[in-house]
Amino acid sequence: MCDLCLAGARLAPIARRNLLKLGAAAAAAAAIAPHALAAPAKAPPKPENVLSPDDALARLMSGNARYVDGVSRRHDFKHEREALSGGQNPFAAVLSCADSRIAPELCFDTARGDLFVCRVAGNFASDDIVASMEYAVQVLHAPLILVLGHGSCGAVDATIKSIQDNTTLPGHLPALVAALAPAVNAVKAMPGDLLANATARNVAMNVEKLKAAAPILKSFVDDKKIRVVGGVYELKSGHVTLLT
């Protein structure tokens, strides 16, 4: 049985209170396992991952600093696997580009069970991604969501060229272009590097989209239970710069 099947059993007291505000959909989720809601809360497999949103962000950035400096920790995957066989409580969720040069677990020097990662070329929040983030926040209690763009993003660059050349890309690629075009169009008249500007704007727009995703993520943001932040990964140094 996967974690999603156990969702009802994982709803902690805070999440249960939020259900009262989350409308019919969440109420229906609670209704599927009323007996499970009465069960005592299970201890998180990684107690060190129970963090405030601010502390979770600080931990991410200190991990990135170790990665940049080449002093990443050694992770004992054997014992981590065993400890996590019964559950997970990641301290952050990351929406990253699929680019092979970006590896969130590596660039934040984290172990298994620490990050809930969704990856798609162009790091944009489709409905599927929003749903995954809802699961990370409501069921797994992740206190932080990071949208992570990066320099020289091929998906953003292809969108820019498609718009500038007025061409239609083959296959399913126009779906990516449609998702990223609002960010490109929003900055195309700005001075400076269009690719860098569009990448940053795309991150910012998807941060706002996730913050506003009612009923679940918006409720957690409004109650200050989670933070949603954006950052850009620099390919040469590995440094992540947070967007304000």
Shortest Cβ 97–Zn ion spacing (Å): 3
Q: In the complex with Zn ion, which residue's Cβ is closer, 150 or 227?
A: 150
- The nearest distance, CB 28 to Zn ion, in angstroms, is 36
The pair of three-digit structure tokens given for residue 235, joined into one six-digit string = 């390919």
Q: What is the pattern of x (binds Zn ion, CB under 5 A) and - over residues 106-145? A: ----------------------------------------
Spatial CA neighbour of 125 closest among 102, 167, 94: 94
Smallest gap from Cβ 123 to Zn ion, in A, equals 7
Eight-state DSSP code of residue 1? -
Is residue 153 at the binding interface for Zn ion, with CB under 5 A as the rule? yes
Task: With beta carbons less than 8 A apart as the criterion, state whether 109 and 64 touch.
Answer: yes
Residue 147 in 3-state DSSP? strand
Least CB distance to Zn ion at residue 203 (A): 11
Nearer to Zn ion, 99 or 109 (CB): 99
Scanning residues 198 to 217, which ones bind Zn ion (CB under 5 A)?
none
To the nearest 5 percent, what fractions of the chain are helix, strand and coil? Answer: 50, 10, 40
Residue 44 structure tokens: 């998180």
User: Would you say 102 or 216 has its CB closer to Zn ion?
Assistant: 102
Q: What is the DSSP letter of 192?
A: S
Residues 91-110 that bind Zn ion (CB under 5 A): 97, 99
Of 134, 14, 50, nearest in space to 59 by CA: 50
CB 37 to Zn ion: min, Å: 40
Is 30 near Zn ion (CB under 5 A)? no
Provide the 8-state DSSP code for 47.
G
The residues binding Zn ion (CB under 5 A) are 97, 99, 153, 155
